[in-house]
């Protein structure tokens, strides 16, 4: 403990100055905007800022503070458009649409933003503490996860999908098949040969999940607005009263926040999992703990807190393998890793010993960024909710254009824009038919990873399927996946029947 305090004071000694505070504030602000804009995720946000940090001539500490502030800021910001517009600002925020948007539709957009902002703070704060205290010990976890274990983890995610949003399990399964099917497009990593591309070179890199998110959520939303002539959605809804902090409601989520911080952090520490899986697993976990009475999906505080705690805790957790092993756990940490390398800092097992100045100033700057974000976000909620007072006729074209330009400016490809429109049409049809769109994104994100890990496991075992059960971790995960898939089918049958009689 004394060590920790000494190290932290070393870190704050380097990282805390009026100049770095200013950098943190700028970074948090830019990060929040980048996170909130659909089509620009945290990874892009950090990548965009790299040339700027170089041209500003920042030293290692300054660059790290700016970029980590952007990283955490983007993780905070993703929720804003999820709640206000039903369009996730980035992929880990997609679970926040499930309860955040219904709450906003009920006129409580301010409450939803405050609860989620507070949840983001708790998740990120606990994860940063976890990083500071446990990182060297936790780095050994990565050595326990091979292809079989990762495959079991992804299997667990897909098997619990059934209960996600739709009442019809077949539709959720169909949606994840769609996503996995899309994920197969591109160069096959295990043979280096193209698959399902139809010979189109544009498809060799696969389909970016940002393209899918923007199409499925943002463009399809525009179609709904056109259909209803601007009468659907939360936009234009009268806000109920002034923005206050719903302390009582936040207090009811205290155990949710603690549980989800732990689960999200672990998901982040595992290099193959990441923030999206973190927010997904925490949401599904809390939903099953709360049960039918929990009313998840209708706009409840726990349903907003769980995924936001989860994805922010995972964002902090993802720094553990990145710093201690040099293994990036997500797209964003991959970019941060590249930055560290260009700053002549090589993350790896010796980093904590050889460069304590870097490590602890990084941790200090994460804590600074986190407090800046909390201080910025609660007052800023008043500004954010004003978005809903913008007439849909201006807001929705704006969102569309932002999404298109975000994608276009990153890839410079008209082909991706065509895909966005295509996904928009698909999203419109799926949503009309009450087929959930979240599993599609999850399938695109994790489908190819799941396939790759299974194939790698079979390469290592020479086709012996019992290899999947060769470790305790993978056996437990696979059993949990099977139970998670079958149990809802039984429970649903039991719960439904008496209800039908009383109908």
Partner 1 sequence: MTRPSDRIFGLVVILAALAYIASALQVQASFLSDPVGPKAFPIAVGIVAILCAVTMIARPDAEPEWPALRSTLAIGIAIVVLVIYAYALKPLGFLIPTAVVAAILSYQISPSPKVSVLSGIGLSIGLFVLFRFVLGLSLFGFPRGWF
Partner 2 sequence: MSKTLLRALSSAAVLAVTATSAFAVECIAPANPGGGWDFTCRQVGKIMYDIGQVADPVQVTNLAGAGGGLAFSTVVNERNSDPDLMVAASSATTTRLAQNAFGGATADQVRFVGAIGADPGVIVVAADSPYQSLGELVDAIKADPGSVAFAGGSAVGGFDHLKPLQVLKAAGFDDITKVRYIGVDGGADAITQTVGGFTQAMTGDMSEIVGFIPTGDIRVLAVMTDERVPGFEDIPTAKEQGFDVRAVNWRGMYVPKDISDARFQEWAGMLQAVADSAEWQQAMADNGLAPFTLVGDEFQAWVDGVVAETEALSREIGVIQ
Which residues of this chain interact with partner 1, rule CB under 8 A?
30, 34, 40, 48, 51-52, 168, 170-171, 173-174, 177-178, 180-181, 184, 188, 190-193, 195-196, 198, 219, 222-223, 225-227, 229-230, 391-394, 396-398, 400-402, 404-406, 408-410, 412, 414, 417-418, 420-421, 424-425, 428-429, 432-434, 447, 451, 454-455, 458-459, 462-463
Contacted entry of partner 2, partner 1, none for residue 247, CB cut-off 5 to 8 Å set by kind = none
Task: Choose among 21, 60, 27: nearest CA to 42.
Answer: 27
Whole-angstrom distance, CA of residue 278 vs CA of residue 283: 9
Contacted entry of partner 2, partner 1, none for residue 332, CB cut-off 5 to 8 Å set by kind = none
Stretch that binds partner 2, among 99-107, 230-238, 326-334, 382-390 (CB under 8 A): 326-334
Q: Which lies closer to partner 2 via its Cβ, residue 335 or residue 395?
A: 335
Whole-angstrom distance, CA of residue 31 vs CA of residue 212: 22
Helix (H) or strand (E) holding 307: helix 301-317
Q: Which lies closer to partner 2 via its Cβ, residue 67 or residue 95?
A: 67
Q: Which lies closer to partner 1 via its Cβ, residue 376 or residue 422?
A: 422
Residues 280-304: b if buried by 16+ CB within 10 A, e if exposed: bbbbbbbbbebeeeeebbebbbbbb
Whole-angstrom distance, CA of residue 427 vs CA of residue 400: 14
Of 175, 214, 309, 325, the one binding partner 2 by CB under 8 A: 325
Contacts of 141 (CB under 8 A, 6+ apart): 269, 270
What end-to-end distance do the CA atoms of the chain give, in Å? 60
Q: Is 456 a residue that touches partner 2 (CB under 8 A)? A: yes
Handedness of CA 191, 197, 199, 200 (dihedral sign): negative
The neighbouring-strand residues paired with 187 are 194
Shortest Cβ 339–partner 1 spacing (Å): 16
Task: Choose among 384, 86, 410: nearest CA to 218.
Answer: 86
Q: Which lies closer to partner 1 via its Cβ, residue 108 or residue 171?
A: 171
Residue appearing with tokens 């006129």: 107
Q: Which lies closer to partner 1 via its Cβ, residue 222 or residue 270?
A: 222
Q: How many CB atoms lie within 10 A of CB 459?
A: 11
Contacted entry of partner 2, partner 1, none for residue 314, CB cut-off 5 to 8 Å set by kind = none
Q: Which lies closer to partner 1 via its Cβ, residue 144 or residue 227?
A: 227
Q: Which residues bind partner 2 (CB under 8 A)?
A: 47, 50-51, 54, 142-147, 187, 189-193, 199-202, 204-205, 271, 325-328, 334-335, 338-339, 341-342, 344, 346-351, 411-415, 456, 459-460, 462
């Amino acid at each position: 403990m004394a060590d920790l305090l000494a190290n932290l004071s070393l870190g704050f000694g380097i990282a805390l100055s009026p100049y770095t505070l200013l950098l943190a504030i700028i970074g948090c602000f830019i990060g929040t905007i980048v996170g909130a804009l659909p089509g620009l995720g945290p990874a892009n946000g950090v990548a965009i800022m790299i040339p700027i940090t170089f041209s500003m001539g920042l030293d290692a500490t300054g660059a790290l503070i700016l970029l980590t502030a952007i990283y955490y800021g983007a993780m905070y910001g993703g929720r804003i458009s999820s709640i206000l517009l039903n369009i996730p600002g980035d992929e880990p925020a997609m679970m926040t649409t499930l309860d955040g948007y219904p709450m906003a539709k009920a006129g409580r957009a301010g409450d939803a933003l405050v609860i989620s902002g507070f949840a983001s703070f708790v998740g990120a704060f606990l994860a940063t503490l976890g990083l500071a205290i446990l990182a060297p010990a936790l780095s050994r976890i990565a050595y326990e996860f091979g292809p079989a274990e990762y495959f079991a983890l992804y299997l667990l995610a897909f098997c619990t999908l059934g209960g996600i949003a739709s009442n019809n399990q077949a539709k959720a399964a169909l949606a994840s098949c769609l996503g996995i099917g899309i994920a197969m497009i591109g160069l096959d990593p295990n043979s280096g040969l193209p698959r399902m591309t139809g010979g189109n070179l544009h498809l060799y890199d696969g389909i970016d999940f940002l393209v899918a998110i923007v199409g499925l959520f943002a463009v399809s939303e525009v179609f709904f607005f056109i259909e209803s002539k601007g009468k659907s959605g939360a936009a234009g809804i009268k806000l109920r009263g002034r923005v206050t902090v719903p302390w009582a409601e936040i207090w009811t989520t205290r155990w949710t926040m603690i549980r989800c911080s732990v689960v999200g952090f672990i998901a982040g520490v595992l290099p193959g999992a990441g923030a999206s899986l973190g927010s997904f697993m925490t949401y599904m976990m809390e939903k099953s703990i709360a049960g039918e009475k929990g009313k998840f999906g209708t706009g409840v505080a726990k349903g907003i807190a769980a995924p936001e705690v989860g994805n922010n805790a995972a964002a902090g957790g993802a720094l553990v393998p990145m710093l201690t092993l040099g293994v990036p756990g997500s797209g964003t940490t991959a970019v941060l890793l590249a930055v560290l390398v260009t700053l002549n800092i090589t993350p790896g097992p010796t980093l904590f010993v050889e460069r304590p100045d870097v490590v602890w100033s990084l941790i200090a700057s994460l804590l600074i960024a986190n407090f800046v974000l909390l201080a910025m976000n609660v007052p800023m909620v008043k500004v954010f909710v004003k978005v809903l007072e913008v007439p849909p006729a201006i807001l929705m074209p704006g969102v569309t254009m932002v999404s298109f330009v975000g994608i276009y400016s990153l890839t410079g490809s008209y082909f991706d824009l065509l895909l966005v429109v295509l996904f928009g049409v698909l999203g419109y049809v799926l949503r009309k038919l009450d087929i959930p769109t979240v599993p599609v994104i999850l399938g695109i994100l994790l489908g190819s990873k799941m396939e790759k890990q299974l194939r790698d496991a079979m390469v290592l075992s020479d086709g012996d399927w019992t290899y999947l059960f060769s470790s305790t971790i993978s056996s437990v995960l696979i059993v949990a996946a099977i139970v998670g898939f079958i149990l809802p089918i039984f429970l649903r049958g039991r719960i439904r029947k008496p209800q039908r009689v009383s109908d």
